[in-house]
Structure 1
Amino acid sequence: MLKFDMDNKRFEPLAQGNFKQEQILERYDFQSAIVSSWEQIKHSLNIPDAYLVGQEITPHHSVQNSIDLLAFDSDDSSIIVIELKRDKDKLQLLQSLSYAAMVATWDREKLISQIQYSTVSDSEELVDLINNNPLNNTVKIILISERYDPEVIITADWLANQYGMDITAFSVSLYKLEDDTFVNFEQRLPLKELEDVYEKRGFKALKADKSAVTWDDVLPKLEYPFASEALQYCLATKEGDASRRRFVGFRRGLDGFSSITINFRAKYLNIYLTGDPIDAESFLLNKFGADLTISEWAKGYSFNITSDTQFRQLKEWLGD
């Protein structure tokens, strides 16, 4: 990572450290930071639709070990096992595979009981999404570590390509600038350039029975005053998916964004934008104001609509 010295027109390297040197502990520091910053971290991990279920979760009554972090991807109703290591560990992949096998035996009731036990934020919304959609039979795995032994990456890549397992690996790097500490997540597997051409054999997202859940069921659970108007605005264009509370591809090819999806969360509208037009963040800040918080992820951007004023600005931009 480089610092851009604008005055002298040059780049300066930041001092690179590691978790051990900085006395950053795996569970009590690194894991705790991920939990408390989940809304930001999930974009770095390319799972923008994921809810955090909990940490240090026992996957089966027959074992004493625990899963570092467990998440639920509302995009396809899959469970995500996240395994953290401060340094490289040849057993990291084996641990995550065994945890995934155990979690794969869970039914909806087991997952919901774990959520209620963990008392995670947005638990009511998460339970509602799980109740309205069948669980996917695929369990995803995310590995996070400073470094990896080659055999871990090679084996994970083989499992993904030959058997369709959904395994992603991120390396985390630590940098120092005076008293500030910076952390960078970099995807190691699959390579971003090859991700779109990977064939996920054996991965089948389950389709919910749309007749079971209607937007009339969803509306009373939305807490913002413009929820009804926003829903009618979206329904005037397309049917949407009430079971997942979203309108995928609500607009396409607008101002350089290939697709715009609107998600109806309990406390706000969440907007996902795919594509990367020039000066995208500046464009959005000009549209919605300088106080807009924008998250960047692998395929685009995300932000929340929390006020009536922002909703008016959204409607003006998206048009009829």
Structure 2
Amino acid sequence: MLKFSNNKLIPLTESDLKTNGLLERFNLQEAIANSWKEFTKEIKYPELIYIGKEVIPDNSTLGRIDILAYDPNENVPVVIELKRSKDKYQLLQSISYAAMVSNWTNEMFIQEANKNKNEKAEEIEGIITRSEEDSNVKIILVAERFDPEVIISTDWLIKNSYLKITAISLSVFKKDDDLYFSFDQKYPLPELNEIYELRNRKKSKTVSKDKERSWKDVSDALSYDWGPEFLEKCLKEASGDSNRSRFIHLRKDVDGLKAISFFFRRNYLNVYILGKLEDPDSLFKSIFSSGVELNEWLEGYSIHLTTRKEYEELCRWLNF
């Protein structure tokens, strides 16, 4: 990390968690849980929903999952394991926890969210539609460093199974009494992420079945009055995926963006955008007068729409 000063780039002092007396459970874990929105935006997974920390995956183990989350777009749980420094057993531990979580019922996720007084517990209840046969789980590893065997094993697992594993390194910098954290995806390489996504989707189709849900079920659950209206417009163009409440790539090649998808959530419409722009803020400010918040993920952006005005502006932009 470099500091800009008087037209010069000055490196900040590199440090680490141990030197500063920070522990993965009492400091790093707490910081992430207390700053969930900021953390997920930084690691380019802005849609992840926090379920809880120190989660017991099964009564047969004394181990605890550092952080359990849920990916509403892929409808899968996410096991996040944190390590100070490096630990070659981090991957093995996370796989064990993922295997245990894969056996959870939908009610168990909802109960865990409620137990932690999660403000999004109601939203989680409307999102989770996994069937008993669905065993997919995502894994996110966060550590200051990774042993080569961890990355090699991760690559082999992704190539030979339907697991999706992401390794993110944490760098610590210090200036005076202030600490700065920087998160950087080490695996898979961001530029190869789309390839791994496609590979993973092909494999997961053979092992994943969602609980059946109709578009009427989705429509009845929407809290925004214009939701059913927009849903009908989408259905006139494509059948969509009612189980996951989504229409994938319903618009393509718009204003330099590759594709636009829509996810109907209980309290908002998630507009998921594939493609990167040099100045995305200018485009979206010209479209939405209210100044919607733009979230960035690895391959594009996402925005949440809640008001009728935002909906009408979306329709004008995409010719609905």
Report the TM-score, using the length of structure 1 for normalisation: 0.86
Deviation at 1:93, TM superposition (A): 1.7
In 2, are the aligned partners of 1:271 and 1:302 still within 8 Å (CA)? Answer: yes
2: CA distance between counterparts of 1:293 and 1:182?
24
Alignment of 1:144-159 (within 5 A): 144-159=142-157
Give deviations 1:80-108, integer Å, cap 9, x for gaps: 21100122122212211221222233333
CA displacement 1:55-77 (0-9 Å, x = unmatched): 11111112111111112223333
The one-character-per-residue Cα deviations of 1:228-273 (angstroms, maximum 9, x if unpaired) are: 3333343343333333222221211100111111222222222111
Give the match's secondary structure for 1:232: helix
| Aligned amino acid, residue 301 of structure 1 | Y
SS at match of 1:154: helix
Equivalent residue in structure 2 for 1:173, among 171, 195, 212: 171
In 1, Cα distance between the equivalents of 2:218 and 2:157?
39
**Counterpart selection for 1:192 from 186, 190, 193:** 190
> Given the superposition, is the C-alpha separation of residues 237 and 4 from structure 1 closer, same or farther in structure 2, using an over 3 Å criterion?
farther
Distance 1:223 1:182, change over 3 A: farther
- In the other structure, the counterpart of 1:16 is 14
Identify which range, 293-302 or 166-175, moves more after superposition. 166-175
2:180 to 173, 182, 200: 182
Give distance in 2, aligned partners of 1:178 and 1:280. 35
Change (3 A) 1:240 1:280: same
CA separation of 1:239 and 1:179: change in aligned 2, threshold 3 A: farther
- Secondary structure of 2:93's match? helix
Q: Distance in 1 between matches of 2:173 and 2:221?
A: 43
User: After the TM superposition, which residues 126-275 of structure 1 pair with which residues of structure 2 at under 5 Å, given as runs?
Assistant: 126-131=124-129, 136-176=134-174, 181-198=179-196, 199-200=199-200, 202-204=203-205, 206-208=208-210, 212-275=212-275
Q: Distance in 2 between matches of 1:41 and 1:214?
A: 34
Gaps of 5+ in 1: none
Deviations 1:31-59 (A, max 9, x none): 12222333343344444443222111111
Q: 1:287 to 1:73 in 2, by over 3 A?
A: same
Identity of aligned residues (%): 39
Using a 3 Å threshold, how does the CA distance of structure 1 residues 22 and 310 change in structure 2: closer, same or farther?
farther
**Separation in 2, partners of 1:92, 1:2:** 30
* 2:106/2:130 contact within 8 Å kept: no
Corresponding letter in the other structure for 1:318: L
Residue 63 of structure 1 corresponds to which residue in structure 2?
Answer: 61
Q: Decide whether the 8 Å contact of 2:218 with 2:242 is kept in 1.
A: yes
Residues 142 and 167 in structure 1, CA contact (< 8 A), matched pair in contact too: yes
The one-letter amino acid paired with 1:97 is I
1:110 to 1:292, Cα distance in 2 relative to 1, 3 A: closer
Pick from 19, 26, 45 the counterpart of residue 24 of structure 2: 26
Give yes or no for contact 2:123–2:266 (8 Å, CA) kept in 1.
yes
Q: 2:89 aligned to 83, 88, 91, which one? A: 91
Taking a change above 3 Å as real, the CA distance of residues 316 and 171 of structure 1, as seen in their structure-2 partners, is same
Query: What is the alpha-carbon distance in structure 2 between the residues aligned to residue 127 and residue 155 of structure 1?
Result: 34
What does residue 52 of structure 2 align with? 54
- Deviations 1:277-296 (CA, angstroms, capped at 9, x unpaired): 23122221232247432111
Tell me how far apart the structure 1 counterparts of residues 315 and 143 of structure 2 sit (CA, whole Å): 42
List gaps (5 residues or longer) in structure 2: none
TM-score by length of 2: 0.86
Inter-CA distance 184–226: structure 2 relative to 1 (3 Å threshold): same
Residues 97/120 of structure 1: CA separation in 2 closer, same or farther (3 Å cut): same
Kept in 2, the 8 Å contact 1:53–1:70? The answer is yes
* Displacement of 1:169: 0.7
* Separation of aligned partners in 2, 1:224 and 1:170: 36
The answer (yes or no) to whether the contact 1:108–1:135 under 8 Å persists in 2 is: no
Equivalent pairs counted in the alignment come to 316
